[in-house]
Amino acid sequence: MHGEYRVALRNNRLGLWLFFLSESFLFMGILVSRFYLWGNTRPELNQLNGLLVTTVLLLSSFTMNRAETALVQNDRKTFLNCLLLTVALGTLFLAGVVVFEWGGHIRPSDGAYGAVLFGMTGMHALHVVSGIVFILIVWNNGRRGLYSSEQHWGVEACAIWWHYVDLVWVFFYPALYLMGQAVH
Amino acid sequence: MTTSTMYALAAAAVLILTAGGGVGLAVLFRLTNQLVVGDGRLPRVVLERVVVPTEPMALLRWRREQDEERMAVARRVAAYRSGATVLVVLAALTVFEYVMNLVGISVFGLFVIALVKAAIIVHYFMHVATVFAAGDGH
């Protein structure tokens, strides 16, 4: 690996993690507002849907990891296929949230419950959409052979971004679906 | 159709469906297993005959190439396997979280489980250690 690329890679990684740190403040703020406004209660949400979308997002994290690993191992076909699979799973997650949760009995205008539910899922969904766009760009670049097993910062950044989206949901899922008493 | 014929036909149908379903499931599990913990490719039958060179130098070279190929496949399988292991652990923790909530775990308990899952993702999927590494790949 070239010295210049190595230095750039270190700086890029540090920059990305600093960006995650700043993003964490945003998500932590939303999470704190959930506990402040909902306290030890939560709205009645579809538990099965919550578990399903969580599983789908977890699976997408796995396929993203496999895509990155495949590129490192010079397995280009698996790399491209897994990227597309991640996009499909991400879209499925979005559909699960938008169709089943947003189309449920709670509306954004339903006081604190509606505001927090739509605020949390909406902000997270926005990040999922950006991740899907990012993956599609990386897939297109990968198809054109712009990444190698040694130099693939774009793929690494995209994978870490997607895992970050999953990481946020790790905290949002119990906060939305599991913690507190369900109120009708 | 007599009752005994119907019974015989029903028994045959159950047998065929059970055996067929079993074989179908076995094939499905085999393919899934190959995809998840294998080298990421579906198994295929290799029909071409391997020609081993007879000339000593060529044989030596052929053996070295075979060894390198085997090692590359082993490395790839090991790398894929570690990702699959992390997935299984995370899935188990998610199910545990869900079941513990049904049992009546406290908010603190759920938060601890989420923290453990987050730590696994940050370490194994996000490769946080590479931020402080010398700059090579993970």
Which has more confidence, A64 or B18? Answer: A64
For testing the chain A interface, which of B95, B125, B132 should be mutated: the one with the most A CBs within 10 Å? Answer: B125
Name the percent of chain A lying above pLDDT 90: 79
Yes or no, beta carbons of B40 and A70 under 8 Å apart = yes
Please give the distance of CA B66 from its chain centroid, rounded to a whole number.
25
- The answer to whether residue B17 sits within a structural domain is yes
Q: Assess if residue B63 is contained within a domain.
A: no
Least confident segment among A16-30, A71-85, B10-24: B10-24
Regarding whether B95 and B40 lie in a shared domain, the answer is no
Please tell me the distance in Å from B127's CA to the nearest CA on chain A.
Answer: 8
CA-CA distance, B103 to A65, in Å (whole number)?
33
Number of domains in chain B: 2
Range of the structural domain that residue B99 is part of: 76-138
pLDDT of residue A25: 96
Q: How far is it between the farthest Cα atoms of chain B? A: 81
Contacts of A112 (CB under 8 A, 6+ apart): A37, A38
Q: In the predicted model, what is the mean pLDDT of residues A42-55?
A: 92
What is the rounded radius of gyration, in angstroms, for the C-alpha atoms of chain A? 18
* Confidence (pLDDT) at B72: 85
Q: Taking a C-beta distance cutoff of 8 angstroms, is the pair A86, B119 a contact?
A: no
Q: Is residue A34 within 8 Å of A120, Cβ to Cβ?
A: yes
Cβ distance of A72 and B137 shorter than 8 Å:
yes
Average model confidence (pLDDT) across chain A: 93
Per residue in B50-95, pLDDT (tens digit) is 788 888 889 999 999 999 888 888 888 888 888 999 999 999 999 9
Q: Which of B76, B93, B126, B127 to mutate to test the interface with A (most CBs of A within 10 A)?
A: B126
pLDDT recorded at residue B8:
79
pLDDT at B27: 73
Among chain B residues, the shortest Cα distance to A4 is held by B135
Domain A3-183's class?
mainly alpha
Residues B112-135 pLDDT 10s: 999 999 999 999 999 998 887 765
Q: What is the dihedral of CA B114, B117, B123, B127, to 10 degrees?
A: -90
Whole-number pLDDT of residue A17 = 94
State how far the alpha carbon of A56 is from the alpha carbons of A159, B17, B20, B43, B69, in Å: 16, 31, 30, 26, 34
Q: Which of A7-21, A60-74, A85-99, B13-27 has the lowest mean pLDDT?
A: B13-27
Interval A67-123: pLDDT, tens: 999 999 888 999 999 999 999 999 999 999 998 888 888 888 888 999 999 999 999
Residues B30 and B80 in one domain: no
Report if residue B52 sits inside a domain: no
Confidence class of residue B19 from pLDDT cuts 50, 70 and 90?
confident
Q: Are residues B92 and B132 in the same domain?
A: yes
Facing residue for A179 by CB, picked from B84, B110, B136: B110
Q: Is residue B92 part of a domain?
A: yes
Q: Where are the domains of chain A?
A: 3-183
Q: Give the model's pLDDT for residue B78.
A: 86
Whether B68 maps to a domain, the answer reads no
| Residue A31 near residue A172 (C-beta atoms within 8 A) | yes
User: Which residues in chain A have Cβ-Cβ distances shorter than 8 Å to B81?
Assistant: none
CA pair distance A23, B14, nearest whole angstrom: 57
* pLDDT > 80? residue B11: no
Summarize pLDDT for A101-112 with one digit per residue, the tens. Answer: 888 888 888 889
State the pLDDT confidence band at B48, using cuts at 50, 70 and 90. low
Q: Which of residues 69-98 of A touch B (CB under 8 A)?
A: 69-70, 72-73, 75, 78
Q: Kindly state whether residues B85 and B135 are assigned to the same domain.
A: yes
Note the pTM of the prediction, 2 decimals: 0.79
Give pLDDT, residue A71.
Answer: 93
Amino acid identity of residue A64, one-letter, is M
Residue A90 phi, psi (nearest 5): -60, -40
Does the distance separating the beta carbons of A180 and B87 come in below 8 Å?
Answer: no
Looking at the structure, tell me whether residues B41 and B88 fall in a common domain: no
